[in-house]
């Protein structure tokens, strides 16, 4: 099922400005400006693509870590053992046992 973030939006539409169509014929000197602008846009898009690739790799690694942790917890649960999570809670038959607290006087 698609959510709102997965839908295509207006940002993908090509406009007259983005397709570089003009009602007035181009003059020769504007070709240099157009080349410069296209080069800068290409550099920006390449940089954005590199950032997205890095972000995608981070997400893949995190998903693998989550799968490993879920599998570990499922195996422990199936064996009926007591699970101590990283946050300090002990789960025994669904009951949470919090850390002991002491007050410090300065």
CA distance 90 to 84: 5
CA distance 59 to 14: 30
Sheet with 90-92, edge to edge strand ranges: 83-84, 90-92, 95-97
Taking only the tens place, the pLDDT of each residue in 40-96 is 999 999 999 999 999 999 999 999 999 999 999 998 888 876 655 555 555 555 566
pTM summary value: 0.48
């Amino acid at each position: 099922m698609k959510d709102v973030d997965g839908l295509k939006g207006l940002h993908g539409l090509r406009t007259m400005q983005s397709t570089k169509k003009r009602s007035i014929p181009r003059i020769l000197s504007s070709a240099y400006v157009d080349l410069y602008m296209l080069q800068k846009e290409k550099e920006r898009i390449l940089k954005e693509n590199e950032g997205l690739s890095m972000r995608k790799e981070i997400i893949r690694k995190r998903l693998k870590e989550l799968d490993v942790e879920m599998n570990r917890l499922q195996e422990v649960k199936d064996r009926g053992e007591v699970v101590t999570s990283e946050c300090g809670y002990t789960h025994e038959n669904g009951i949470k046992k919090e850390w002991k607290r002491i007050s410090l006087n300065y």
